[in-house]
């Protein structure tokens, strides 16, 4: 497999793009080598500029849940394009998508569409502060909630990949009201509440997808919600990654917890830049123009994104692929573990719904500290061997793999063969 054109584009891109990329994880920093440049995608496959075609488990980090360029989504986009691209005014489809989203989340009466997960989260936090008249927010180490200043601490994912503890350019004042707790450790949350009386809320990924795939331990989320509610704080659940990926709605419902404020993105845009935050009426009526919490966006509710989102969610509800996702993820887990055992490689696998991730480690992974104990050098060898055998994975040990309903049995067989070759390569390190 050759990557000559990707290498040429990378070198050319260095002149006017930062690191030749527009998002750090695309730089392949933790796996080495030059990043791949993609030309096109269709269904479960993605093709680079050198003509190499891969089974895609990145899926643009989640939104392509139906696969790439699904015919019904494509048709909806083409129809919307004929009417214009953006109007700076309201459209009917904003109302239609809002109903679909609110109907899927029992605790959500109203939603506000924005342009990214980062926007959704920073707006949700502002809303929590406005509603409670308190300032501090608790986040969990290893959970990533976008790149707003207040949350760019202990943020997992890209920062973990680059071995950065935070970010230059974020002043101390921006994070003075951000408190860090340990995922799956309620006592670490309680310690903050015992020390401070001005905590507005706690933000969490119901399934942590930016330190791999890390699941909450039994009753952790339920106990968390019960405790912080007793303290007058709000639970903000960041479902930008998990929304619609384990059921038609949120992972929180499967986990037996109900958020006060929900953040969404990815799948609800069908591949276009979309974010959203929503809550019960009492909270959302704090938002301008109904209330005094200001938040705005010229491109929010973009008509093309709304059309793609409606088509994606409508088809997703029709397909109802969640049983299929669980079965496929279970097969992948078995393939990974059996191959690792065959080649005497230490691997554990975490999965939830249509998200899965192998960790090159001997112990369990229930928090960011345990995730960081994984062998990233082994992952790098595994990653490139998978690429050379036609499987496109996220270029980081700390990113989830995603499944699409377009994934076929043939794709899975190809993946199994690639995994076995990759584990063999790792065993020779």
The reported pLDDT for the residue numbered 403 is 98
The reported pLDDT for the residue numbered 384 is 98
pLDDT above 90: residue 349: yes
Residues 6 or more apart in contact with residue 245 via CB below 8 angstroms: 62, 65, 251, 267, 325, 353, 354, 355, 402
* Distance (Å, whole) CA 260 – CA 204: 12
183 among known catalytic residues:
no
* Distance (Å, whole) CA 312 – CA 300: 18
The domain 4-65+321-427 having CATH identifier 3.90.1150.10: the answer here is yes
Token pair 């001997």 in the structure block, residue:
362
57 among known catalytic residues:
no
pLDDT digits (tens, 9 = 90+) for 72-127: 999 999 999 999 999 999 999 999 999 999 999 999 999 999 999 999 999 999 99
Per-residue pLDDT, averaged over 279-303, amounts to 97
- Per the residue annotation, which of 238, 260, 375, 411 is the catalytic one? 238
The reported pLDDT for the residue numbered 171 is 72
Mean pLDDT over all residues of the chain? 94
pLDDT digits (tens, 9 = 90+) for 360-400: 999 899 999 999 999 999 999 999 999 999 999 999 999 99
71-318: CATH topology is 3.40.640
Domain boundaries, the chain: 4-65+321-427, 71-318
158-162, 184-188, 211-215 — which is least confidently predicted?
158-162
pLDDT digits (tens, 9 = 90+) for 27-40: 998 899 999 999 99
C-beta of residue 238 within 8 angstroms of C-beta of residue 207: no
Closest CA to 207 of 365, 380, 33: 365
* Distance (Å, whole) CA 370 – CA 262: 27
* Distance (Å, whole) CA 257 – CA 44: 33
| Portion of the chain with pLDDT greater than 70, in percent | 96
144 among known catalytic residues:
yes
Token pair 């994975």 in the structure block, residue:
393
Q: In what order do the strands lie in the sheet with 348-352?
A: 348-352, 355-359, 401-402
Residues 6 or more apart in contact with residue 47 via CB below 8 angstroms: 38, 39, 40, 41, 53, 54
- Per the residue annotation, which of 10, 57, 61, 144 is the catalytic one? 144
Residues 6 or more apart in contact with residue 291 via CB below 8 angstroms: 130, 285
- Per the residue annotation, which of 136, 139, 266, 378 is the catalytic one? 266
pLDDT digits (tens, 9 = 90+) for 112-154: 999 999 999 999 999 999 999 999 999 998 888 888 877 776 5
């Amino acid at each position: 497999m050759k990557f000559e054109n990707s290498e040429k584009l990378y070198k050319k891109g260095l002149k006017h793009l930062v690191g030749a990329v527009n998002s750090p994880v695309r730089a392949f920093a933790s796996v080495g080598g030059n990043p791949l440049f993609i030309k096109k995608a269709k269904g479960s496959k993605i093709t680079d500029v050198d003509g190499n075609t891969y089974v895609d488990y990145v899926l643009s980090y989640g939104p392509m849940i139906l696969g790439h360029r699904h015919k019904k989504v494509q048709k909806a986009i083409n129809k919307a394009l004929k009417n214009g691209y953006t109007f700076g005014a309201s459209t009917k489809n904003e109302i239609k998508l809002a109903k679909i989203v609110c109907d899927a989340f029992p605790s959500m009466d109203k939603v506000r569409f924005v342009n990214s997960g980062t926007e959704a989260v920073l707006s949700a936090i502002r809303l929590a502060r406005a509603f409670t008249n308190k300032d501090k927010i608790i986040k969990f180490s290893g959970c990533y909630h976008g790149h707003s200043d207040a949350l760019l601490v202990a943020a997992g994912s890209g920062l973990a990949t680059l071995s950065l503890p935070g970010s230059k350019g974020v002043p101390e004042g921006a994070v003075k009201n951000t408190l860090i707790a340990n995922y799956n450790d309620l006592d670490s949350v309680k310690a903050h509440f015992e020390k401070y009386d001005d905590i507005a809320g706690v933000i969490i990924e119901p399934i942590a997808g930016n330190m791999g795939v890390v699941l909450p331990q039994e009753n952790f989320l339920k106990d968390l919600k019960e405790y912080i509610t007793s303290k007058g704080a709000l639970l903000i659940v960041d479902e930008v990654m998990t929304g619609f990926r384990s059921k038609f709605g949120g992972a929180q419902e499967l986990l037996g917890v109900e958020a006060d404020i929900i953040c969404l993105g990815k799948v609800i845009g069908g591949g276009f830049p979309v974010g959203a935050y929503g809550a019960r009426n009492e909270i959302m009526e704090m938002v301008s123009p109904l209330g005094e919490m200001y938040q705005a966006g010229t491109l929010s509710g973009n008509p093309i994104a709304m059309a793609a989102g409606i088509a994606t969610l409508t088809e997703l509800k029709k397909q109802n692929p969640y049983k299929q996702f669980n079965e496929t993820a279970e097969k992948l887990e078995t393939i990974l573990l059996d191959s690792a055992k065959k080649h005497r490689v230490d691997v554990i696998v975490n999965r939830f719904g249509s998200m899965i991730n192998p960790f090159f480690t001997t112990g369990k992974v229930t928090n960011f500290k345990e995730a960081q104990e994984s062998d990233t050098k082994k992952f790098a060898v595994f990653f490139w061997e998978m690429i050379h055998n036609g499987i496109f994975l996220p270029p980081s040990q700390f990113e989830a793999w995603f499944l699409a309903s377009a994934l076929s049995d043939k794709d899975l067989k190809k993946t199994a063969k690639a995994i076995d070759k990759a584990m063999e390569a790792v065993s020779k390190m």
